[in-house]
Homo-oligomer: A and B are copies of this chain.
Amino acid sequence: MNGSDSTSTVPGSGAPRRSDATRGAILAAARERFATDGYERATIRAIARDASIDPSMVMRYYGNKEGLFAAAVAIDLRLPDVSGADRRQDGGRILVEHFLDMWENNEVLTALLRVGVTNQAGAERMQGILRDQLLPVTRQVCPDPEQAPARAALMASQLLGLALTRYVLRMPPAVELARAEIVAWLAPTIQRYLTAPSP
């Protein structure tokens, strides 16, 4: 729905190609299929059909299915800075709200979660996001940097668990929770994992 990217893979790099529209259509279709079907059931043929091109084009542009997945799923959580003294005490709420925004506007996150569960490359990609994006934020804020990995893992468990039950498994009571309820319940949890003294 959003226009985060449409044509060229890396905007402003290299010469624009005549095929950029097709490349973009393939990536968009791939993201949607991976998000709804997971890795195995998202077939190249179905993705090509969605993009209204021939399956062989996918191979030409992205090499193979794994290459397509790698190109389609690039995630930048754009985590907000919560290291300021005024924001530190509010980090839980800020992070929960940010995650809800992300998950509800970006099908790539659903795609990666679905793929990570049945595909080793997908699982490693998620490990990388924890390590390169969530862990640094945690390290900046939590009391003892040595505890940062454990605290980041706990935060990931709660945030991914919410995404799992609400956006992937679509368990009715999790779907029916209002956004404000989720924030009210989860913010203290995340805040505790982030800054509370270790129990």
Which residue numbers of A lie inside 8 Å of B, CB to CB?
Answer: 37-38, 40-41, 113-114, 116-118, 123, 126-127, 130, 135, 149-150, 152-154, 156-162, 164-166, 168-174, 176-177, 181, 184-186, 188-189, 192-193, 198-199
**B130 and A156 form a contact (CB under 8 A):** no
Alpha-carbon distance A162/B158, docked complex (angstroms): 7
A157-B165, A162-B157 as given contacts; A173 in contact with B149, CB under 8 Å: yes
Q: At the interface, is chain A mostly helix, strand, loop or mixed?
A: helix
Chain B residue with the shortest CB-CB distance to A114: B117
Tell me the minimal C-beta distance from A167 to chain B in angstroms.
Answer: 11
CB distance from A187 to the nearest CB of B (A): 9
Find A158's partner among B37, B157, B168, B176 (CB 8 Å cutoff). Answer: B157
Tell which of B40, B116, B150, B162 touches A161, judged by Cβ atoms closer than 8 Å.
Answer: B162
State whether B171 touches A153 (Cβ < 8 A).
Answer: yes
Q: Find out whether the CB atom of A165 lies under 8 angstroms from the CB atom of B160.
A: yes
**Bound form: Cα–Cα A169–B198 in Å:** 25
